[in-house]
Structure 1
Amino acid sequence: MTLRKWTSLLLLSCLAACQQTAPSNEQQSSTPLIQGVNFVEQVVAKPEKIVIPYKKYVLDNGLTVILHQDNSDPLVHLDVTYHVGSAREQVGKSGFAHFFEHMMFQGSENVGDEQHFKIVTEAGGQLNGTTNSDRTNYYETVPANQLEKVLWLEADRMGFLLDAVTQEKFEVQRETVKNERGQNYDNRPYGLLRERVAEALYPAGHPYSWQTIGYLEDLDRVNVNDLKAFFLRWYGPNNATITIGGDIDEAQTLALVKKYFASIPRGPEVAMPEKLPVTLDSDRYISMEDNVHLPLLYISFPTVHGRHQDEAALDVLSSILGGSKTSLLYKNLVKNQLAVQASVNHPCAELACSFNLLALPHPASGKSLADLEHIIRQTLVEFEQRGVEDDDLVKVKAQMEANMIFGLQSVSGKVSTLAAYQTFTGDANYIAQDVARYNQVTKADVMRVFNQYIKGQHSVIMSVVPKGQLALVAAKDNFTPPARQIAPTSEIAKEDVEVRKAKDNFDRSVMPKVPVNKAVDVPKMWQHTMANGIKVLGSQSTETPTTSMLIKIPAGHYYEMPEKAGLVSLLADMLNESTTKRSAEDMSQALQKLGSSVSISAGTQYLNVNINSLTKNLMPTLALVYEKLLSPAFINSEFARNKSNAIQGVINSKKDASYLASAAYRRLLHQDNIAALPVGGTEISLANISLEDVKAFYQQQVKPFNSQLIVVSDLPEQQMMTAIELFKSWQGKGRELQLTLPLPDTKAGVIYLVNKDQAAQSAIRIGKRSMKQDIVGEFYKSNLMNFILGGAFNSHINLNLREDKGYTYGAGSSFRGNKFSGQFFAGAEVRADVTDKSLVELLKEISNYAQHGISDSELEFMRSAINQNDALKYETPRAKLSFLAQILEHDLTPDFVKTRSKIVASISKQEINALAKKHLNIDEMFIVVVGDAKTLTPQLKALGYSVINYEI
């Protein structure tokens, strides 16, 4: 729900313009035309060119239809994009577009309340909706046989929604939106930054001067009929594009689109909004106190608008200044430990873009926000003197090529690309033009946009400081946004809302029947063990020329001593730094020029190396990976910087309620062992770690024996094995993990209360220790049992707290585990004023389910939802990688999938209910609440619980 970067996944340097057929006669489409459906164009695949082939049509009511056939997997992705976002709202009526994203899931004339999620989930699919400043989209990915059903759902909410929008639903979703704002804005450190900057950057009344989430007072001011009027203005078929991709029959799909959408009447005509240049007459200094640990400086320059001819050059400029370890801001602020973080970006939306520079000072540096502002401005001078280098352009273009190709690995990626281009340019095949403008950027272009939009130009300078520390601001505030001028309007009455009605020759109240699901094959795989003990599992995927790889080294968090928790995380940081052969900056530059990404991170049991590369660049990429793993430099200054930043990150995280809740819950679950501590460590344990500790652990544990290498590539088995031969020279064996995690003596039936002053929301966690993870045993069956309680959107817990009460943005429960321990967990982030009520409802749902169990209809829902989603499990290389990793981790054969399917199909109501009684005993669980202790303590004690103040 934020401003999106238009080009993030849409660029490819080798792309050339596709030849399109002219839209003049039916013979140009191989799909027979239907009356009322007008053929527009066809784009076809071409040898050695990467395009997204499609056919485009327009119905007589103005609905644009784009069909992309891809039979590689038995699934379809459907996207309905409405060209309306928060930029189409009026002053005083902000948040309407986002509000309607919520309302569109609340049932329509022929679809019952809460049934969108239930129907799609039961079909084995996934769905959601998103809103930003310029568009709203709704999407589903489902098995191919479910296409007609989701077309029926989308058509019903496009043409038959308003009669089902009741005052009661309106009130509940208004509360849900408030909870979303609380969770993502008001209760999050720096959460109001963008709202405050936008108010200062844009003129009063500019459609980007408010956030997509809107203002609470605006939501409180309006009634349900205001919302209906907004829908009627913007959600007509002539302001929408429906894009369907996947395993489809084009003629049949077109006929179904006509059946369900053609009779929906047009809405009012929609004109493109005017793109007004944004200028500032002086620097605007603003500030805000927040519940944060570190102050933050944010400088924002207004620039152009999305797809402006200068956007691409400004993107290149942002990369040079703050896009990676090779950037100038990194060198001038982060590398020398003056800041814990510094970055630059240039987000663009339909009407405007902004060039943003951000920095958080390191406390040990003694630098103020004013100092950071001076360094940033000196960095701009340095850039002007340095100019643009050849590698700057090479890196950006290589990364865009890679981003584009990886973005086309899924049907949803291709469909989303087509939908966005159609919505914002009117040309779904705009991709060639988009690529060309980046490929054509020159050094002179970058210098020109720097001089035009940044050098000597005015900006908004925002200081965010800890509460009570306004003296830390970069400069005294010199700008106050003018008060919003909200014109008085009369309340819209029900009779003033004239609903457009469709006339059909079929009964829309009957949900379409679907054919039998197509069988889904488990990916074919191959397996080897290298002489040095690396276990290799791979699969070939030929849809894109890419290779994705995961190396898991048995050297994770569980190998650490509790007093030095975070050691592996620091080791991962060091492996991402310099090697003995090249600096961190040179390594970053080498990878960027290949368009490759390599990230090393710590997990509980493994040190994980994630690699993504275009296959044509795989060999040089793997050579760099090998260098990272075998030749780390372990430079003192780099260690000091990473250790210090890690400590500051932990301290800063304690301002976040969710972090505090998770930390308290983890500690109470395990108490005095390594599992009680976060993978990243605590400020105390991190302070105990020396560079010699990291080196010693590396020498002991970063070895190939029993490591796992999982790969999905378009290369066949033999070529892939040849590609990884360089790892054969890596030798050694680390110590085996010997770990027991005894049960804690944490008190059950009490509330552990963690204080967070004046928290807008409270975080609740309920749970206990439970089973270790298994694949086809009681742990797996218990998660099937939990699916109805808290494992799906339509679960008891979420429907109660979110959809019925409006207490939260989302709530749920699950069984979690690994080889060493397990847990049952339930929780939510809730409005502060209903913390006690939310806790009562959570406990009630768990107890009721333990007592009464699952119903017959719920059991069938669970079976259908779990056993019909196989098509989504293996679609992308990333999904295949996760699947293969599971097989290797647990020493499975692919037959485990069939075994699980049989369990789902055969598990009885009696077994489900017995598991619920066994594992959901509230008396065995403890409770963690994070919120304002002064307010919550008497409320929680009034519930009859003992309340223990708990510190993190």
Structure 2
Amino acid sequence: MFKKIISLLLIAGLIPVLAQVDRSRLPEPGPAPEIQLGEYESFELPNGLKVFVVENHKLPKVTFYLQVDSDPALQKEQTGYVEAVGELLRTGTKNRTKDKLDEEIDFLGASFSTSADNITASALSKYKDKIFEIMADVIMNSEFKQEELDKVKKQMISSLAASKDEPNAIARRVRSVLMFGKDHPYGELETEETVNAISLDACKNYYQTYFKPNISYLAIVGDISLEEAKQLVEKYLGGWQKGNVPEHKYNTPKPPLIMKVAMVDRANSVQSVISVCYPVELPVGSEDAIKASVANLILGGSATGRLFMNLREDKAYTYGAYSALRPDPIVGTYFAFAQVRNSVTDSAVAEILKEMKRIRSEKVSEDELAKAKNYLTGNFIRDLENPATIARFAVNTARYNLPKDYYKNYLKNLAAVTIDDVYNTAKKYIKPNNAYILVVGSADEVADKLTKFTVTNKIEYYDINGNPYDPTMKKIPEGLTAEQVIRNYVEAVGGADKLAAVKDRTVKMSGSMQGMNVNVTLYQKYPNKLYQEVDAGVFKQKTVFDGEKGYVEAMGQKQELQGDQLESLKNEALDAVLDYSKYGITPELTGMENINGKDAYRVVLTSAGGKKTTQYYDPDTWLLIRSVSSISTPQGSFTQTMDMSDYKEVDGVKYPFKYIQSFGPQSIELNVNGIEINTGLPDSLFEVK
């Protein structure tokens, strides 16, 4: 009976004939979703400040966002002062000290943030008058003080110390230099020298020159009416004085004429950070911008991109490989990136270039195009749930002189992107033959295999600050050996007899990290016993090593030392430097390297188990100034760097009294408070229980 009913319905045409559906073809895409952009109102003050108001009364909250639209300025020998201005804006005004400013904001339960070109404040709508008055005070009356600048500079230098041994941070810095050059504001790099050179006058001058209403945009979003917004802005920012703001023009950076390979040598790296990069002329909101976003998404803009699927899913070279094609009002950028093990560095570069060439030479599939457009459509619609998005659209439309209906027609224009559009856009902006291939890693292990990517078979070397150098020019003096460097070091710190006489040593140090005070006490006893306590207040850690085995104890949990950690401690004997062979350690002088602006001899110590530690010695004083090693943990492999300075004599032996230790992205400066020699430390202190 059921089959008869179906047959009758089919004859009557009341249900479709499934056999007539061609399932081998994808359904035609539907029309672009109709979106209703939130409305905004705008007005302009006599001083030139442009204001955009988005009313949204769903929550009793108001957000104020000020954008200062100035051209980037070259900072030269004081690079970093613009960033410092952003921090100083939060440190007090002519009417409020920093403490009073913090107290008032906290009392309101508000959020408040500043940078060199924008200020954001957010609070419950019943406090909108008060929070905006505070914001206006910061905008017009900020007062910079030397003691606050000194704190900011100290934080910046600490951040630089942490980043100098973080390979991804190094790649970002050197990538900027390669693409833009140091004579362009996008290519300038902060260094310890430039940060130390930052003056209070430079910061004040920047604030007084560029914080002007006639180049600024104010967005107000939330539980507020247009009339209320006008009253607030006129009351508190009506007196903000406009002024002439200098304009800066720079030559537009160009991609290299031929492919170039750049190397940042990190001797102990077990992985390489790869970047394939170049600048592109792709203005914000240009005709190609939407097409370029689709092309890049297919190539490497997500975890479904071709780069990810190739290098991770197919080749298992990496945990992730991506690319970015970013518009910019001055000059845009393209870069593809991945972090891979040393042995497959050249293979990974080849695969990245292959995918870049493929998207230029072969048209993408209908499926890839549909998925990319769906992904971007979803992101756009999701962003619209945030009322601040509408304000951002309004500011961008005015700031970049976009068509008034640019965002209203975004999904329509996205839906109109075709396979041919992606193909033509890729040919225009994806340039595998005009790219910089930057590798941050061990040159000894990967450099030779990278020469095949250049016409000249030449690799250009850069230090971590993007300064080029010729490694062949740093020649070791003829006849100098690792053993001689170490002997010279022994003599420099006091001589073999003095070192041999040290049978136990106690070192007490203190410092701070991420706002926490850290105290370290280190006990060592001949030959290689160790006990270390780290006290950071809420966190305490104890390491015990009896010469053969050991453990780490923290938060009530005890973990046995294994692998790299155990081998490292076995090599920390008090007398090891007097005879490395006694402990199965082989030293090798491998060259010279620039350390903190000065060449140093590089000695690689290889343990019996194959673990390598790289040490750097000052050729003038013969003192050890840096030690670098790789540590393997359950969370991954990290490079640990220890810089040593401020040597002082204790019982005839010179020891460093200042250490800067970097471990992954973390950094801590430790100052030695005291060293005691031969106090008769008991063996029981080092017992592994």
Q: TM-score, normalised by structure 2?
A: 0.61
- Return the alpha-carbon distance in structure 2 between the equivalents of residues 427 and 950 of structure 1: 75
- Return the alpha-carbon distance in structure 1 between the equivalents of residues 196 and 564 of structure 2: 42
1:102–1:59 CA distance, 2 compared to 1 (3 A): same
> Which residue does 1:350 correspond to in 2?
329
Residue 409 (str. 1) matches residue 395 (str. 2): no
Q: What letter matches 2:273 in structure 1?
A: L
- Return the alpha-carbon distance in structure 2 between the equivalents of residues 114 and 335 of structure 1: 53
- Return the alpha-carbon distance in structure 1 between the equivalents of residues 203 and 322 of structure 2: 39
> Which residue does 1:53 correspond to in 2?
39
- Return the alpha-carbon distance in structure 2 between the equivalents of residues 195 and 75 of structure 1: 39
Q: What letter matches 1:49 in structure 2?
A: I
> Which residue does 2:67 correspond to in 1?
81
> Which residue does 2:459 correspond to in 1?
477
Which structure has more strand as a fraction of its residues? 2
- Return the alpha-carbon distance in structure 2 between the equivalents of residues 949 and 473 of structure 1: 47
Q: 1:54-83 deviations in whole A, cap 9, x for unaligned?
A: 111111111111111100000111111111
Query: Could you tell me how far 1:99 is from its partner in structure 2?
Result: 1.3
1:166–1:194 CA distance, 2 compared to 1 (3 A): same
Q: 1:296-332 deviations in whole A, cap 9, x for unaligned?
A: 2210132223323223222222222223454322333
Query: Could you tell me how far 1:235 is from its partner in structure 2?
Result: 0.9
Query: Could you tell me how far 1:52 is from its partner in structure 2?
Result: 2.5
> Which residue does 2:127 correspond to in 1?
146
Residue 310 (str. 1) matches residue 288 (str. 2): yes
Residue 169 (str. 1) matches residue 148 (str. 2): yes
Q: Contact 1:75–1:141 at 8 Å: present in 2 too?
A: yes
> Which residue does 1:91 correspond to in 2?
76
Which structure has more helix as a fraction of its residues? 1
> Which residue does 2:187 correspond to in 1?
209
- Return the alpha-carbon distance in structure 2 between the equivalents of residues 139 and 292 of structure 1: 40
Query: Could you tell me how far 1:268 is from its partner in structure 2?
Result: 1.4
Q: TM-score, normalised by structure 1?
A: 0.45
Aligned residue runs from structure 1 range 817-896, under 5 A? none
Residue 188 (str. 1) matches residue 166 (str. 2): yes
> Which residue does 2:158 correspond to in 1?
179
Q: 1:184-209 deviations in whole A, cap 9, x for unaligned?
A: x3253421211101111124412211
**Match for 1:65 among 28, 33, 51?**
51
> Which residue does 1:22 correspond to in 2?
none
**Match for 2:641 among 758, 778, 784?**
758
Query: Could you tell me how far 1:417 is from its partner in structure 2?
Result: 4.2
Give runs of ≥4 in structure 1 deviating > 6 Å: 426-429, 479-484, 661-667, 929-932, 948-951
Q: What letter matches 1:247 in structure 2?
A: D
Q: Contact 1:759–1:931 at 8 Å: present in 2 too?
A: no
> Which residue does 1:882 correspond to in 2?
none
Query: Could you tell me how far 1:276 is from its partner in structure 2?
Result: 2.7
- Return the alpha-carbon distance in structure 2 between the equivalents of residues 58 and 218 of structure 1: 39
Q: 1:77-114 deviations in whole A, cap 9, x for unaligned?
A: 111111147x3334334223321110100111112224
Query: Could you tell me how far 1:411 is from its partner in structure 2?
Result: 3.8
- Return the alpha-carbon distance in structure 2 between the equivalents of residues 150 and 93 of structure 1: 33
1:949–1:317 CA distance, 2 compared to 1 (3 A): farther
Structure 1: where are the runs of 5+ without partners? 1-12, 16-47, 485-657, 685-753, 762-831, 837-928
Q: What letter matches 2:68 in structure 1?
A: Y
Q: What letter matches 2:106 in structure 1?
A: T
**Match for 1:137 among 99, 118, 123?**
118
Query: Could you tell me how far 1:449 is from its partner in structure 2?
Result: 2.5
Aligned residue runs from structure 1 range 320-399, under 5 A? 320-340=298-318, 341-362=320-341, 366-367=343-344, 369-399=345-375
Query: Could you tell me how far 1:274 is from its partner in structure 2?
Result: 6.2
> Which residue does 2:278 correspond to in 1?
301
Q: 1:890-944 deviations in whole A, cap 9, x for unaligned?
A: xxxxxxxxxxxxxxxxxxxxxxxxxxxxxxxxxxxxxxx9868xx95955878x9
Q: Contact 1:305–1:352 at 8 Å: present in 2 too?
A: yes
- Return the alpha-carbon distance in structure 2 between the equivalents of residues 755 and 302 of structure 1: 31
**Match for 1:126 among 111, 114, 121?**
111
> Which residue does 1:779 correspond to in 2?
none
1:345–1:372 CA distance, 2 compared to 1 (3 A): same
1:452–1:417 CA distance, 2 compared to 1 (3 A): closer
Q: Contact 1:296–1:359 at 8 Å: present in 2 too?
A: yes
Q: 1:330-354 deviations in whole A, cap 9, x for unaligned?
A: 3332113341132222133321222
| SS across alignment from 1:392 | helix
Query: Could you tell me how far 1:412 is from its partner in structure 2?
Result: 3.9
> Which residue does 1:29 correspond to in 2?
none
- Return the alpha-carbon distance in structure 2 between the equivalents of residues 434 and 760 of structure 1: 52
1:215–1:50 CA distance, 2 compared to 1 (3 A): farther
Q: Contact 2:324–2:336 at 8 Å: present in 1 too?
A: yes
1:89–1:157 CA distance, 2 compared to 1 (3 A): farther
| SS across alignment from 2:331 | coil
Query: Could you tell me how far 1:151 is from its partner in structure 2?
Result: 1.4
Aligned residue runs from structure 1 range 223-238, under 5 A? 223-238=199-214
**Match for 1:246 among 195, 210, 222?**
222
Q: What letter matches 1:70 in structure 2?
A: N
Query: Could you tell me how far 1:480 is from its partner in structure 2?
Result: 6.2
- Return the alpha-carbon distance in structure 1 between the equivalents of residues 666 and 255 of structure 2: 43
- Return the alpha-carbon distance in structure 1 between the equivalents of residues 450 and 104 of structure 2: 53
- Return the alpha-carbon distance in structure 2 between the equivalents of residues 437 and 323 of structure 1: 19
| SS across alignment from 1:332 | helix
1:440–1:386 CA distance, 2 compared to 1 (3 A): same
Q: Contact 1:74–1:143 at 8 Å: present in 2 too?
A: yes
